[in-house]
Structures are given as structure tokens and as C-alpha cells.
Chain A
């Protein structure tokens, strides 16, 4: 083998080699951002998706940019999926705040478009039911803490009242401890209800339709779709079984959709 042949073989091998493998992860990230800023959304989405799904990078910054790239590439469902993932994995970070902003804007944009495919008229938005309406505003941790504090204070006041009434404590017989205890316990019960509702809402898991459309079946063994969900529809994930996901819509309707058609953050 001559030197020239050997050089040609080596050059061919170099060209065939996967160029991505030689890149660093930050380099891929920069490349994705540059592609996004240059308007090459599909390239950006591919690069950033590789970074996330192939190389396992879970940075919320990456997820936000991936959401942006997917949206600009026309994949609204995937965009929402990654933005939800950013919020769920790092809710206190600036990236999560950017993701929340992006989610809201994407919903608005999709609603302005009037929905796609058969979902025309579908109102895009977060999961909403009676619980979210009543308790969606509450932070479950805060509400739970308030409940426990009121509960403890109420029972302590009741105990004090009881001891005073029993003559164990040197307190006036007409002490307000009893009324205080009653009020505190009433407030505790209210806070407990709010904490329960907030915890229930917080336990909701979102699923996003990532396919162009997703058939909704009433039963997992049903052959006839009862509804078609458009891309970008956000539903409540209840359970996964046998390649299907049981979901509940904001209307309260429940059904099964193929697992491949939805993404769960």
C-alpha cells in the first residue's frame, strides 16, 4: 500500500467518523443556540434533543432552549413537554421561570391559531378541574404547615383551657382559652381542607400530546375513538398500562390514549 493510498484511507476514515462524538457538550449546546438564533430551528432542535436524550443532559437551561427550538420548528407538543419538564425538575430556577413564560405564550399562540387538525376549537391550557379552581392557588406545603400550626395551637389552647377549668392551672375561670381554642381549631380545619386540596392538585401529573393528533378511547380495549386530541393538548396523567395512558381532560372526561402519542414530563 503506497503512502498516498494510506493517506486517502485515513482521510476517508476521518470524514466518515461521527463529528458529533468529537464535540463537547457545551460545544453542542452553543451550536444549538447558534442554530436557533440563526433561524435554523430544526437543526437546533436536533442538536439540543441529542444533548438531552442521547447524552442525558438534564439542565433546565437546555430544556428551555429545546422547548424554544421545538416550538420554532413547529413541534408545539414537544415544546410544551420539554418546558414542563424544565419546570418540574427545577421549579425554583430562573430557567423554570422562563419555561413558565414560554408555556403561557405557547398556549396563547396555539389558541390564536385556533387549534390544529381535528382539535379546531380546542382551548389549550393547563389542567383545570374543580380542585384546581378551588385549590390551585394554594401552595400545599404552606397550607399544610399552616394547618399543622393552627391544629397544634388549637389543641394546646384547648388543653390549657381544660387544665384551667379543672383547676390544675392557676387561671381565671372565665379565661378566653376556650374560645381561642375553638377558633384556632376551626381555622385549622379550614386550612387542613385547603392543604388537602392543594396537595391533590400538586399531585397531578401532566401529559402533553406530542403527535399531530391523539385518539382518545373510552376503554383500553375499545376500538372506536371517542375524541381526538390535538397536538399540544395538556391532560392529566392517571396511569400507564399496556402501551396506553389513562388521562383525564379538564372537562372531566377520562379515556386512554396511545403512549406514543403523548409525553409525560
Chain B
């Protein structure tokens, strides 16, 4: 049997995916294991089956699987790491979309893991029963490179849909044309929300020398969500219409998702074909016809109560924990993988009901998602992650996580579910938990707002000015207190003599005041008398008021006053008495002179030694 080029390329790509995972991602030490899980084991010809392959453990390379009976129309891969009881397990997951080539019991060959030249693990072959309603092509065997899309003419009307090949009738009407452009869509019931793989194929008679062919006007797809593959489909497909071989070139392809049910139109596109021998190239333009599609609504019958709108496709759900035992308050990471084909982008995170005593929090994990657009439609993986945090010790069981979805190929609602997940929570004091954790020498700060540092911190010692003030002010206060105390002591020691020394100054001050008020002031003489008596009393400690003139003279003499001065002072006192009790005009005119005389007397008395301290 000659394997078509498309199949060989796709199969090589699938093998390459397995090989790259095997060689480029060395798994951690653990028991090697390989699991192959098909989404279903029986299907009609023309439908695809999703096969999930999980490789775990350490190995060098893989062998197999033999997929001779299938076309690989979609693939995705990923890696996950989990640590359970100190054992790190690295798993490589590969999801394949396989399109059976024929009816019958087909076999997905075993996969072998090879380590150090020895087969360390292998999977059992998986058998897929493909019902024969959709008969394989009966036309003459296509040449290498042509896909199995030339279905026999006159196939029964109830033939199973064949999404990747147009019905022969649709091509038969182009018989006799040298070239034509035709859109191809799956000929089966299509549903709203389902990504439909559409391709515009430019066919040209095989005997034409075609230098190039390219799309000129892409289809204006309105009312669809369009997802185009990253790489163009460059392979040449050969079909026969009648007896004439044609070469098909895909000029546009993508997955289009109708948003609503009803009749929608795939608009025409146009392409240019360059025919010639290299020197004389002629350009021919060709347009496709518009194609009308009837998009069915999702049926109400059988719709699960927990069905989320838009969950259309063939999905397999699988859950894994990074560790099965955690301490109370710590978190285990639950990863729910949804793999398969369909509207992966609209999938919502499956609800994970938290058991009593455990908190469940969703973790954004879009970077684990991977989708591929290929002839199988949109296929790949969506990963949803949750943190499971036990709040008490004990065993917890997370019930089966379910994903109800509508399978557009089968035309019915289905439900994919995981196994129950068990977590053991131990006390904070420890437990049989040995996490593999490499301690970093320098801690790494994973996220930051990059706020700038406040700058170099100045010298943390107290400032010079503060120190100077702090040292100086208390010392100054102490000095003030010292001065106050000393002054007080001095005053106590020298209070009398001080007063005596100040007696003359006080008297002179009062005399000045009297002199200023002399012309008209009343009480001048009594004031002058008071100045004299106060001075004598203060300066010499003599109670003047209680002494007669003779006694006062004697006291002043005893104090060392000169007799003349004492007599003059007594005369002034007498003068004052006259002035007070028998004032005369002449005396009134003599006021200033009296003040001067008294000043001289007091100065003369002050020079006397008596009364000095």
C-alpha cells in the first residue's frame, strides 16, 4: 500500500513530536510508563478520534506507534511536572487527532520507551472499530501525494460524512474544466459554536504546467470567528474527476466558527493561477461559488443541566496533582487538562467542588494552553489550574471533575470526567512530605513594582548640630543654675554693704527728681528731708527718726563723718524743717541751691568709712 504524502508528513510530524519530547525533555527519575487513551474505540469512517498519549519516567527515545491505518490530522503536546512524596514525575502528553483511512478494525500500534538501548516500557496496541458506511475510495488509486479524498462516485446518499474530502458530486460538476476554485467543508451536520475546518482548493488539470497559484481575494467571512493556522498547506493533492486527474492546491484554509444557527453563506473567493513553461506565463483568474451552510442549533434534548454554552467538540478531561500530601495551610496544585478538538477557546474552567475543610482557588494558567488548527479542525489542550489548600488535617477527596460537552460529530451530548482525586493533609509539624526544592543562595524576588530605592541612607548617627545643641543646652542650663545659686549666696553675704553702697546713688537719683520738680513742686522740703534721712539711715545704719540733732551728730561722728559735713547736714535738715513749716519766698528761690548742697553733703558723708561692709 502506498501511503499518501499527506499521511506520511502528518505521521512524521507526530513521530517527531514524540521524539522531540523524548530527547529534549529528560524526565525525572521515576518508573517509566506509557499510556494510550483513545477518546472512543468505535466510530464511523470519516470521523476523527482523539488519542491521548502520556509518557512518564526517564527514557531516551520512543518507538512507534504504527499509525498506518490513520491520517494524523491534528496534534498537540505538552509537559507537566508533579512532585508526590518527594518523587518528581515529569509527564509528556501528546494528543493526536486521527482520521481512519478505511473501515474495519484498525490498530494503533504500541509505543515503546527505550532507555539505554533497552525497551523499558510499552503500551498495548489499541484497536479502533471503524464502521464501513463511509466506504473507502474506489476510484483508481491516486498517485503518491494525493489524499484519500476521491471518494467513489455514486456513493449512497446516507454515506457517512467525510470532513476532509468533498463529495464527488460536488466536483463532478466541474468535469471538463481546466481549473476551478471550490470551497470544501465537512459534509455532515454542522452546529453553532463548532469550529468548522474550511479550505478553498484550486484544482487544475494535471497536464497543465502550473508555475504558481495564489489567493487574490480571500473570502469575506462575516458572522464567523475565524482561526487560521500559522503555516500554509503547501502539499499538492491529486484527484480524478471522471478519468481526468486534477491537482488541488489549498489557497486558503482556516477554522470558522458560526456564532448562530441558521443559514449562512461562505462567500466566494478568487485566486490566480499562473500557467506556462517559465518563459511564457499566462495568468488566469478564477472565483469560487458561494456556498450555503445550514448551521444547526444545539439540540435541547439530552442537554445536561450543567452544560455550558459553547462547549462544542470532542474532549477528554484529565486531572493531576503536583503532590498528594500537603501540610495544613499549604497548597497543592491541581491541573485539569482538557484535550481534544473543538471549540477549545470557549471552554470554561470546570467547577471543582471544594470538600469541607479545603479551599479551592483558581489559578490563571493560560500559558499552558496550546491549540492547533489543522484538517481535524481546532485541536489541542486547555489547562485549568487550582490551588487546593486544606484547612485541617485529614484525607480529602475531590470528586470527579466533569465536562459536559456536545459532540458535533456524534450529534449528541457527552460527558467526560476525571477520576476522583485524593489529598492527605498533615499537621504543620511535619509528615511524610519530602519536597524536592533547591534552596537558592540568594533569594529571588519573583515580582516587583520596581519602585526606586529611597536613595543612599544618610549617616544614621545623630547629627552634629543636634549633638552640639544637646550637649550645650543642658550645660548652659546648669551654668545658669550655678549663676543663680552663686548670686543668691553673694547677695546673702553682701546684701547690707551693697545697699549701703547703693545709698548715695539712690539719694542722687531722688535729688535729681526733686530738682526737676523744684520750681513748682509741692512737698519739696519734706522730700529733701526724706532723702537725707534715708541716706543716713541706709548708709550708716542709724535710725535718724529716733535721734535728736545732737545724737545724730554724735552718731555721724562715730561713723567717721567729718564734723563739718555732719554740721552741714544737720543745717540742711533744719533748713528743710523751716521750708516745710515756715516757707519764705527766699527759701523757695533757694530750692536748687539746697539740692546742690545736700548732694555735696551726702557725697561727703559717703566718703566716711563708717557703714562699709
Contacts and interface: CB of A to CB of B under 8 A. Distances in A.
A118 B448 CA distance: 39
A165 interface: yes
A144 B450 contact: no
Interface stretch (A147-155, A234-242, A245-253): A147-155
Helix, strand, loop or mixed for chain B's interface? Answer: loop
Contacts of A159: 474, 477-478, 480-482
Helix, strand, loop or mixed for chain A's interface? Answer: helix
Interface size classification for chain A = 35 or more
Interface stretch (B163-171, B318-326, B422-430, B452-460): B452-460
A194 to B, nearest CB: 11
A94 B475 CA distance: 42
A148 B470 contact: yes
A166 B457 CA distance: 48
A109 B440 CA distance: 12
A196 B213 CA distance: 88
A29 B456 contact: no
Given A59-B450, A140-B462, A159-B478, A89 B457 contact: yes
Contacts of B477: 155-156, 159
Interface in A91-118: 91, 93, 95, 98-99, 101-102, 105-106, 109
A102 B442 contact: yes
A67 B442 contact: yes
A51 B522 CA distance: 97
Interface string B452-494: 1111110111100011001101110110111011101100100
A25 B492 CA distance: 80
Interface in A39-81: 57-65, 67-68, 71-72, 79
B220 interface: no
Interface string A115-145: 0000000000000000000000001110011
Contacts of B453: 58-60, 63, 86, 89-90, 93
A141 B482 CA distance: 31
A195 B470 CA distance: 14
Given A71-B442, A89-B454, A162-B482, A141 B488 contact: no
A33 interface: yes
Contacts of A95: 445
A199 B478 contact: no
A220 interface: no
Most buried by B among A37, A67, A93, A162: A162
B444 interface: yes
A168 B462 contact: no
Given A59-B451, A90-B453, A98 B443 contact: yes
Interface residues of B, number: 40
B461 A140 contact: yes
Contacts of B466: 144, 148
B442 A162 contact: no
Given A90-B454, A148-B467, A166-B489, A65 B444 contact: yes
A23 interface: no
A167 interface: yes
A36 B460 contact: no
A97 to B, nearest CB: 9
A71 B455 CA distance: 24
Given A67-B442, A98-B443, A144-B467, A62 B462 contact: no
B460 A202 contact: yes
A159 to B, nearest CB: 4
B441 interface: yes
Given A102-B441, A159-B481, 18 more contacts: A33-B447, A37-B444, A58-B453, A68-B440, A68-B443, A72-B440, A89-B457, A93-B453, A140-B462, A148-B467, A148-B470, A151-B474, A159-B478, A162-B478, A166-B486, A168-B485, A198-B461, A199-B460
Interface of B: 440-457, 459-462, 466-467, 470-471, 473-475, 477-478, 480-482, 484-486, 488-489, 492
4 smallest CB-CB distances across A and B, nearest first, come from: A166-B485, A144-B462, A155-B474, A199-B461
Interface of A: 25-26, 29-30, 33, 36-37, 57-65, 67-68, 71-72, 79, 83, 86, 88-91, 93, 95, 98-99, 101-102, 105-106, 109, 139-141, 144-145, 148, 151-152, 154-156, 158-160, 162-163, 165-168, 195, 198-199, 202-203
